[in-house]
Amino acid sequence: MLDTLITAEQLADFIPLAQRAVSVEPASTIRFRAAERKLAAFVQLPYEVLAGRTLAIEPAASFDQTVAAADFLLWAEQSGPPPAGKDAHWLSALPPRHGWRRVELVPDSVIRSLVRAGAELAAGATSRQSQESLLASVVLTVAGDGSTPPVEVRLGALTALTRMGFLPQGSEAAVDVSRGWIRIAAAFGSTYVSSGDSLGLLSL
């Protein structure tokens, strides 16, 4: 169980991540991965988007465990028992710890403008399928210094970045790539999508 690996106090900074995941999907799970003096937590969001944040924490041992986000919140807020493991409920891959390459920095004003425009279009969508198509659409293309192919960023990844509270006003977000993954990294967390040549997130 998670309480034998780490204390609730050490995980307190992940409470907002779990709260926002539960607000999107009450049955959400949260996966904790501890290694190399860092602890990361990930949640699965709709439209093939993964959200997570990484903190410099030194747990007693490396571990990788998934629990129900709602159970984690009760435990972390000292109103419930330690959450039971639900590793079998997480079937998709996680992004790599290493090997990321920065492509471009994008001002938060640009990202918020794209998200607002997408929300206005979504409000007029006549079906869930239309909304899904909109969130899957490419709304930002970055090319960096031109030494790598352009990276296409979908609306869903940017919407999740703002909805999860990862992007402070007046800041920037980085578009990073690794084998099979695109990461949008902001001050308080990152969103990830499969770029098509990894195990990906399609088991969401």
Chain segment 106-136, per-residue pLDDT in tens: 999 999 999 999 988 887 777 777 877 888 8
Measured at the CA of 187, the angle between CA 35 and CA 27, to 5 degrees, comes to: 65
According to CATH, the topology of domain 2-89 is DNA Polymerase III; Chain A, domain 2 (3.10.150)
Measured at the CA of 14, the angle between CA 182 and CA 104, to 5 degrees, comes to: 25
Domain ranges of the chain: 2-89, 101-194
Residues 6+ apart with CB under 8 A from 7: none
Whether pLDDT at 57 is above 50: yes
Whether pLDDT at 100 is above 80: yes
Q: How far is CA 94 from the centre of its chain?
A: 10
Provide the pLDDT confidence category of residue 196 given band limits of 50, 70 and 90. low
